[in-house]
Every structure is written in C-alpha cells, then in structure tokens.
Amino acid sequence: MKNISWSGGTGDGLAQKPVAIEVIDVSKHFGMGDRRLAALVDLDLTIPAGGFVTIIGQSGCGKTTLLRLIAGLEHPSKGHIKVGGQLVQGTGWDRGLIFQEPRLFPWATVAHNTRLGLPDRAPDQERIMALLRLVGLEEFAAAYPGELSGGMAQRVALARALAGSPRVLLLDEPLGALDAVTRMRMQNELLKIWQEQSLTMVAVTHDLDEAVLLSTQIVVLSERPGTVRRIIPVHLPYPRDRTSAEFNVFRQELVGMLV
C-alpha cells in the first residue's frame, strides 16, 4: 500500500479540497406514537472529496440516520444535504451503500449479485469480472452466497456497491459482524480500494481502533439528539501502525470523549 501523508481537518489542508458532501442545518425527527423523537438536530458537516471520514458516537446518537440521509434513504425534517453540489432528493448512482449484513440474494451467483449493482443491470461481463478482481473474488464468480465466508460475502457487497461507479461510498458498520482477523484484512482492502479508486468514503463504526486506522477525519457526534461535537483530523501516514505511540494518542483522545 502506498504511503500517504494527509494533512487536513477543520481550518487546514482538507478544507482546501473540493467538497464532496454538505450537510446543512439538518435535523431529523421520527414519529413515536403521539410524540416525536429527535435523532439529529441542527447538524452541519462538510466532507472533502477524496477523504476517508468515520463517524463515531454513543449508541443511538444518530450515526446511521446521518448515513441514511446522505444515501437518500431518509429525508431531513429540516435542512438539506448536497452531494457533488447537487441536492439529495433520493437515492442515486453517485452514492454506494454497504450495510452491516451483505444482503446478497441467496439464489444468485456472486457474479449475478454484483451485476445487480450496475445502473442498467446490463450483463456487462467485463465490468463484473473487473470488480470481482478488485475485491479478490474472480475465482468465485459462479459461487452462491451460502458457499462464502462472512468476509467473502462482504467483498461481494463491496463489489456490488462499486458497480455503479459511485463518487461516494457509504459504509454502515460493514465489518462489525466479522471475526478479528477477517476484519483486519477487510480494513486493508477498504484502504486499498479507497486509494486506488479515489473515492470519498464515509463510514459509521463503534471500533475506535478502526476509526484511527482508516480515517483522514473522525467526526464525533454528541449524545442524542446528535449534532457534531468535534471533528478530529488524523495526520498519521498510511499504512498505520496500531501499536505506535502516535496511534494510541489518537485512540485515547477518542476514548476520553466517549466514556
């Protein structure tokens, strides 16, 4: 993996980069019987193009809600969101989304599941095989989801999410259900794809080590109703050493904010 130094964050290098995502004065409420529950309130966030941004915070603070709003699966109660300068009014091929579970069709092969991510669902075999090579599954194109390990199934979900050539890839804890070794391998895969494909990645995670390992910026949300508590730029070069003193300084800073 190439060695990248990233300087950035609020008020420095990342602020100079083109903007990929703008969250502007966004609030989101959900109906709860005869009352309304505030999930997010007055949230403002700018995500630079090409960044790898992770969103952390205590359970129930609105992390997944924010990701779904960016994806267009939910609509703000107040405010608006732009991706690439365009107002988000629904889902679009410019945004790929990966869930915690792979959500593959069990009756479809790996190649077929990947093809379902193509915008026109055309049987573009060359494109499908290129995506499977990218995630290391070319030899499993004819396999079915039931024949795959958890990590392999998430690789298929990743290939499917990339099929539409999105500019932004949204990840809702896609590694949360994996064992520790597979999770580390998938973290490296995500970094490789982020670097090779020049994507903007936005990930929700509860794993603080993962946040420090992957991120150019870490967004910390407050307790519910969620709003941006702090944005922490991570200046460490890639690849990152989980055992280094610098890595643990960042981790301990996050622990201090969340406990």
The answer to whether position 132 is within a domain reads no
CATH assignment at residue 83: 3.40.50.300
In a domain, 251, yes or no: yes
Q: How many domains does the chain have?
A: 1
| pLDDT on residue 215 | 97
Domain region containing 55: 1-90+170-175+200-259
Decide if 12 is inside a domain.
yes
Identify the pLDDT of residue 8: 36
- Backbone angle region of 32, left / alpha / beta, with phi > 0 → left and psi within -120 to 50 → alpha: beta
For the record, the structure tokens of 232 come out as 């922490």
Average pLDDT over residues 119-128: 80
pTM of the model: 0.90
pLDDT in tens, 158-208: 999 999 899 999 999 989 889 999 999 999 999 999 999 999 999 999 999
φ, ψ of residue 238 to 5 degrees: the values are -95, 150
> What is the pLDDT of the chain when averaged over all its residues?
90
Q: Is the pLDDT of residue 9 over 60?
A: no
Cα separation, 66 vs 79, in Å, equals 12
- Name the band, by pLDDT with cuts 50, 70 and 90, for residue 94: very high
Is residue 40 situated within a structural domain? Answer: yes
pLDDT at 96 exceeding the cut of 70: yes
Q: What is the pLDDT of residues 50-61, one digit of tens each?
A: 999 999 999 999
Euclidean distance between CA atoms 54 and 149, whole angstroms = 26
Does the pLDDT of residue 12 top 60, yes or no?
Answer: no
